[in-house]
Structure 1
Amino acid sequence: MATTIRRTVLTLPAAPLGPEDPLPPLAAPADVHRRGRGLPPDLPAEMARRMAYEPLRSLLPVRRRDGYTRERVPTDVEAIVVENDRLRATVLPGLGGRVHSLVHKPTGRSLVYTNPVLQPAGFALNGAWFSGGIEWNTGATGHGTLSVAPLHAARVPAPDGGEMLRLWEWERLRDLPFQVDLWLPEGSDFLYVGVRVRNPHHHTAPVYWWSNTAVPEGPGTRVLAPADAAWSFGPERALRRVPVPDGAHGSYPLRCARHGDYFYDLAADERPWIAALDTDGRGLVQTSTRLLGGRKLFVWGTDEPGRRWQEWLTEPGTGGYAEIQAGLAPTQLEHVPLEAGGEFAWLEAYGPLTADPAAVHGADWAAARAEAAGRLEAALPRAAVDAAYTAWRPYADHEPKETLATGSGWGALEVERGRLELPGTPFPATTLGAEQQPWLALLRTGTLPQDGPEPGPSLVSRPWREMLETTEPGPASAYHLGVAQWHAGDRSQAARSWETAERLGAGWPALRCLAAADALSGHPQRAAQRYAAAVAAAREGRASRAARVALAREAITALLAAQQVDEAAAVLAGLPPAARRHGRFRLLEARILQARGDEEGARAVLAEAEIADLAEGEGTPAARPRP
């Protein structure tokens, strides 16, 4: 039985994602991997160069996703099943192409941690993310901005004569297309995954890729990788080299007191692999061709915050998970340059592994490693992975046979602009939607039309910015030009463009950008004044509910920073009751009460508040999930 591919529907308790935040994110993204100290003296020079290369400084042109709640209801989720007689992989094309579950059919074992709920939480670079399964992270350090976004999906021919499931999209932070091909050769216990990231531009581009696998975490779960040392990165935000196994975690996730990353230091000639095995020596192993040479263990830790985060992401009492990960670089603090016109491509394999538990859990780390490596070689020789990669490469360019799901229209717009040829990953003009139409008009006519009652998403790459600079000034073009200039680092010129946009009638969107710029530039009083004006203009201009809610959130924060407490309270009172019940606004309500000296009232609000969009690493004490 070669690979079969079929559609299905899963019904899961899920919290609705809510609308995108329509306000362009001008603030730099929070970086939970930011180093708190200098680089360690034993860090290789090449790693240090990649850590300094093109770190993410802006989320633009991506919008934030923070409108979700924690009210889960039974929800039908479109899924695609990739199956042979040995394995069944269930993929969610509408949620980042995540492999939701991977089941070994002869034993009935689930090889990955399958989350029984879909609960968004603030872990992605742009907000909403959920845990479990195998996720594909590209763009920049962190969980990618496509975590809950739809990808294109289709059937394509597989190297063995069967079928593959192809997933692909245009990653907008770095403006690069990527694809993920999944198939199961006949009789294979391993899911093959071919991945390709291409750079169709005339300039070098930074690339980030980590495949993250959530694995069940039990008292006897041990993670093994072919390394004697790791780069440890924990809550103190200091990178240091530690031996493996280290006394801090001993390679057992539930022996680690605090959350942290362990990036294994694999030798250049080692076969890259990582495995998570239970007390009986059974579990999942992941391996790949050499290009994907990074391996990492992430643990939540056994302290109260780590356990609480586990519960926050799923149902209490359903068991926890750790993550075993594979990446393009040795650590997730690095970005890898990809030359103009070039591509990165590799093959991954995921499958069951059974090893001698006495060796796996013995005190001799070298023997434990050797036992797992030997069992992997017997189950899936390294040469077989390399051969599968070679066989897959010509098929990576095969055109899809049948569309199974549709992603965004941004790739089609970039293909149109650049007259690009991307064999295997078509971005057809039929996917161009309402958000792309104004930009298509700019491309074809040189004029950017007004894109509705309030601005749609901005485009900020250099080619689009240059088009905006040469088009006839208007409220829409001046507004979007300001966003592109802000992204490019030209803040003074961005402010002038937004002032022009306001003068030409852009209204509250331009006022909001000027207010956000003031707040980020250290002018709290002027920011508060402009935010108040933007809120009033949005109310009079009948802005969308999503825009008014997002604007109020920023405005209240700015008004409190300027100690204009009554004005902040008035903005909060002007929101619909349903919006005021959102956890983030309950937190702002508590801050208003505290600013008025009502400590008891603030504590009462926080006692019942639940902040659904709490971000990873967020430091507000009042915002921590309640134990």
Structure 2
Amino acid sequence: MADLGPLNPLPVVAAELDQPYTVGEGVPEDLQASARYGVVPNVYPYLMQDGYSRETAPRELPAVVLENSKIKVTVIPSLGGRIWELLDKATGKQLLHTHDAPQLANIALRKAWFAGGLEWNIGTRGHSPTSCDPLHSAIVHTPDGKHILRVWEFERLREVVFQVDIWLPADSPVVFAAVRIRNPNDHDVPMYWWSNAAIPETDRTRVIAPADEAYGSDYTTDITRVRPTAHEGYDGTWPVNSPHAADFFFDIDPSERRWVVAADDDGDGLAMLSTGLLRGKKLFVWGQGQGGKRWQEWLSPGAGPYAEIQAGLAQTQFEHLAMPAGAEWAWVEAYGNGHLDPATSHSTDWEAAVAHASERLEALLPHEDLEAMLPEAITNADVPPSKMLLRGSGWGVVERARRQKSGHGWVDESGTPFVDESLTGEQEPWLGLLQGKAFDGAPSFVMGADWEELLAGQDSPGAKFQLATMKHARQDLDGAKELYRQVLAAAEAVPGVKALAHRGLALALLAAAKDAEGLAELRRGVEADSSNTALLTEAVTLSIRHGDPAMALELAESAPTDGAAVGRLRFLKALALARTGNPGEAATILKAGVEVPDLREGEDAIAALWQEVCPDEPVPAAYQFGMH
């Protein structure tokens, strides 16, 4: 696996969060309303994780194994608490898509993500900000003798605490995961949760859920109501049939048990069951087009194709639900082999396949038994850890201190302690500010009215810069520009802070369509700190985007010759050459080979440039990343 690399030091302040879904005809108004609700402009205060390359090496990770006579479950707490393997011992099959060389790629909200296993996603639409972070992890022994693996964290975008309790009873054919989210705020919070399971995709894999219709998306058109079994001339419940990437959010009647199951040619495959609160069930496929195949090869080299089945709080992934002030939400999920009869599950009679799968899953785990587990799971959620395994971030400690100072409520930490040992240099300046110490900057960022009030009482350039980023992140561009200019006017401001202030001012100017002024500030930022490769890469990108490819070429002359950014900077140089009337030089770069480690999901810019500068030659397979 590649090393995650350093965090990107540039604060995420621009309004640029991808929202590919738009709602089309036939979608109910309440669903449209929840799609409009809770959308965020960015993932501030998180920093991006894009310091990785595609250079891999053997790497040792801590793992926790839960095992009984029927299944073996492997969890990786240091990478988002992901369930990495679920082995069915009777068949010897891995029910999750898994492999021995997970490849970091730009798929998550903070970029870094890897395919495979079963992941927990919270915050807003996309793969979680905690996808590649270590979570607080512990073994919990309950009074009745149950052994639980618990992972938890303070989620900074929505300012909530979440935890996942995973346990495997003796001789159980399914593993259980109880999720609890707590909103300690005195206001509603837009909430998003999806549990995503990657499953092996074979020519005979079928995905079944108790619904005739779904809300579908193909990543290029509006969300519409579709019939998965007769979609665009094919049966989309067979992933191998889909010509392009597609989502199917099954419209399950509220009176029905909510489940989704995959079945291979033997009828084996992952069953995803949950208590009632986890309403949504989904199938995602990459599709059989060249781009979909390329993405799977890019994400899972040599591991074969995969699809995903998923479960979420809302019916679709473009919605947020309003989580009331002080609320606690909890549910239980269960995962095991559905063991379907392939003759029926693979029948052309959809109703018969659904009825059969429903019967088999009821036999695997009766619905009443699963629902009866919820009260005990809620009680166990507060049982203190017996043995700590891993520390997550120190932001929970900082948040507790902030709330204590301001008199706001907080969660009971009995089951999810946030301890001082988790603090690092990222958090210590903020704790000092809460304690009344002078503040002159931090390598991290925070958000909220309390912090803005505290920083307003400080006069250092570092404090003004932090206050500027907070205003910028919530799109108070005028307030941000004024403070950035104050930082730049301060003689004592250090070069690194000045460079970031030039950059912040540039982004605010560009957002106001003042391209020339904005690009000039970007240039000054790069000159102020020539060692900041992330800033250089952004400046080259934005100078092309805003009509000055000559500036991009000039800046690219100082690009590093090694490191994670080299591939993208080579591509950007080729793009700038094409835009300055030098298609031949651009073609030479592309033909020599360009690999961009942080290529964004759905980004097809390399193929588009190839078609522009090499119009008589087919796009190489290695450059085809289009999802449609």
TM-score range, shorter chain: over 0.9
Deviations 1:302-336 (A, max 9, x none): 111111111110114x3100000000000001001
User: Cα–Cα, structure 1 residues 561 and 286, in superposed 2: closer, same or farther, change >3 Å?
Assistant: closer
Whether contact under 8 Å (2:21, 2:223) holds in the other structure is no
| Residue type at the aligned position of 2:325 | A
Q: CA deviation at 1:472?
A: 2.2
Larger CA deviation: 183-192 vs 430-439: 430-439
Corresponding residue of 1:351: 336
| Residue type at the aligned position of 2:320 | H
Q: CA deviation at 1:468?
A: 1.9
Q: CA deviation at 1:130?
A: 0.6
Taking the aligned partners of 1:334 and 1:564, their CA distance within structure 2 comes to 38
Q: CA deviation at 1:418?
A: 1.3
Give 1:521's match in structure 2, choosing from 495, 512, 524: 512
User: Cα–Cα, structure 1 residues 529 and 372, in superposed 2: closer, same or farther, change >3 Å?
Assistant: same
Corresponding residue of 2:613: none
| Residue type at the aligned position of 1:309 | W
Whether contact under 8 Å (1:116, 1:314) holds in the other structure is no
For residues 151-162 of structure 1, what are the structure 2 equivalents within 5 Å? 151-158=135-142, 161-162=145-146
Whether contact under 8 Å (1:448, 1:477) holds in the other structure is no
| Residue type at the aligned position of 1:449 | F
Q: CA deviation at 1:112?
A: 0.7
For residues 350-499 of structure 1, what are the structure 2 equivalents within 5 Å? 350-419=335-404, 420-422=410-412, 423-445=414-436, 447-451=437-441, 455-469=442-456, 471-499=457-485
Give 2:584's match in structure 1, choosing from 577, 589, 600: 600
Deviations 1:359-383 (A, max 9, x none): 1111111110111110111111011
Deviations 1:246-302 (A, max 9, x none): 234341000111111000001111111110001121111010100001000001111
Taking the aligned partners of 2:212 and 2:165, their CA distance within structure 1 comes to 32
Larger CA deviation: 284-293 vs 388-397: 388-397
Taking the aligned partners of 1:369 and 1:551, their CA distance within structure 2 comes to 53
Whether contact under 8 Å (1:224, 1:274) holds in the other structure is yes
Whether contact under 8 Å (1:98, 1:134) holds in the other structure is yes
Larger CA deviation: 427-436 vs 343-352: 427-436
For residues 158-173 of structure 1, what are the structure 2 equivalents within 5 Å? 158=142, 161-173=145-157
Corresponding residue of 1:176: 160
Taking the aligned partners of 2:348 and 2:553, their CA distance within structure 1 comes to 61
Q: CA deviation at 1:160?
A: 5.3
Whether contact under 8 Å (2:17, 2:40) holds in the other structure is no
Taking the aligned partners of 1:625 and 1:459, their CA distance within structure 2 comes to 40
Whether contact under 8 Å (1:29, 1:59) holds in the other structure is no
Taking the aligned partners of 2:118 and 2:539, their CA distance within structure 1 comes to 38
Whether contact under 8 Å (2:181, 2:329) holds in the other structure is yes
User: Cα–Cα, structure 1 residues 141 and 561, in superposed 2: closer, same or farther, change >3 Å?
Assistant: closer
Taking the aligned partners of 2:359 and 2:312, their CA distance within structure 1 comes to 23
| Residue type at the aligned position of 2:527 | A
| Residue type at the aligned position of 1:352 | N
SS of the counterpart of 1:331?
coil
The answer to whether 1:121 aligns with 2:105 is yes
User: Cα–Cα, structure 1 residues 210 and 565, in superposed 2: closer, same or farther, change >3 Å?
Assistant: closer
Whether contact under 8 Å (1:329, 1:335) holds in the other structure is yes
Taking the aligned partners of 1:486 and 1:512, their CA distance within structure 2 comes to 12
Taking the aligned partners of 1:296 and 1:160, their CA distance within structure 2 comes to 35
Give 2:123's match in structure 1, choosing from 139, 163, 175: 139
Taking the aligned partners of 1:269 and 1:158, their CA distance within structure 2 comes to 34
Q: CA deviation at 1:121?
A: 0.9
Q: CA deviation at 1:557?
A: 2.4
Corresponding residue of 1:314: 300
User: Cα–Cα, structure 1 residues 107 and 558, in superposed 2: closer, same or farther, change >3 Å?
Assistant: closer
Larger CA deviation: 130-139 vs 495-504: 495-504
| Residue type at the aligned position of 2:469 | V
Whether contact under 8 Å (1:28, 1:59) holds in the other structure is no
Corresponding residue of 1:206: 190
User: Cα–Cα, structure 1 residues 61 and 448, in superposed 2: closer, same or farther, change >3 Å?
Assistant: farther
User: Cα–Cα, structure 1 residues 273 and 562, in superposed 2: closer, same or farther, change >3 Å?
Assistant: closer
Corresponding residue of 2:262: 276
User: Cα–Cα, structure 1 residues 616 and 407, in superposed 2: closer, same or farther, change >3 Å?
Assistant: same
Larger CA deviation: 136-145 vs 456-465: 456-465
Corresponding residue of 1:112: 96
Taking the aligned partners of 2:426 and 2:527, their CA distance within structure 1 comes to 26
Corresponding residue of 1:616: 601
User: Cα–Cα, structure 1 residues 533 and 109, in superposed 2: closer, same or farther, change >3 Å?
Assistant: same
SS of the counterpart of 1:298?
strand
Q: CA deviation at 1:62?
A: 0.8
| Residue type at the aligned position of 2:335 | Y
Q: CA deviation at 1:417?
A: 1.2
SS of the counterpart of 1:118?
coil
Q: CA deviation at 1:156?
A: 0.8
Taking the aligned partners of 1:294 and 1:142, their CA distance within structure 2 comes to 15
Larger CA deviation: 121-130 vs 566-575: 566-575
Larger CA deviation: 246-255 vs 54-63: 246-255
User: Cα–Cα, structure 1 residues 302 and 159, in superposed 2: closer, same or farther, change >3 Å?
Assistant: farther
Q: CA deviation at 1:401?
A: 1.0
Whether contact under 8 Å (1:524, 1:558) holds in the other structure is no
The answer to whether 1:260 aligns with 2:246 is yes
Which sections of structure 1, spanning at least 5 residues, go unmatched?
1-13, 540-544
Give 1:553's match in structure 2, choosing from 537, 545, 549: 537
Corresponding residue of 2:324: 339
Whether contact under 8 Å (2:215, 2:226) holds in the other structure is yes
Taking the aligned partners of 2:76 and 2:212, their CA distance within structure 1 comes to 36
**Number of equivalenced pairs:** 598
| Residue type at the aligned position of 1:156 | V
Whether contact under 8 Å (2:252, 2:258) holds in the other structure is yes
Corresponding residue of 1:88: 72
Whether contact under 8 Å (1:62, 1:145) holds in the other structure is yes
Whether contact under 8 Å (1:198, 1:343) holds in the other structure is yes
Taking the aligned partners of 1:561 and 1:29, their CA distance within structure 2 comes to 14
| Residue type at the aligned position of 2:500 | P
Corresponding residue of 2:284: 298
Taking the aligned partners of 2:549 and 2:42, their CA distance within structure 1 comes to 30
Give 1:194's match in structure 2, choosing from 171, 175, 178: 178
So what's the TM-score if we normalise by structure 2? 0.92
User: Cα–Cα, structure 1 residues 495 and 278, in superposed 2: closer, same or farther, change >3 Å?
Assistant: same
| Residue type at the aligned position of 2:449 | R
Corresponding residue of 1:29: 16
In terms of fraction of residues, the more strand-rich structure is: 1
Q: CA deviation at 1:580?
A: 8.7
Taking the aligned partners of 1:562 and 1:364, their CA distance within structure 2 comes to 54
Taking the aligned partners of 2:517 and 2:372, their CA distance within structure 1 comes to 63
| Residue type at the aligned position of 2:423 | L
User: Cα–Cα, structure 1 residues 31 and 131, in superposed 2: closer, same or farther, change >3 Å?
Assistant: same
Q: CA deviation at 1:530?
A: 1.1
Identity %: 39
Whether contact under 8 Å (2:533, 2:565) holds in the other structure is no
Taking the aligned partners of 2:565 and 2:253, their CA distance within structure 1 comes to 53
Larger CA deviation: 359-368 vs 105-114: 105-114
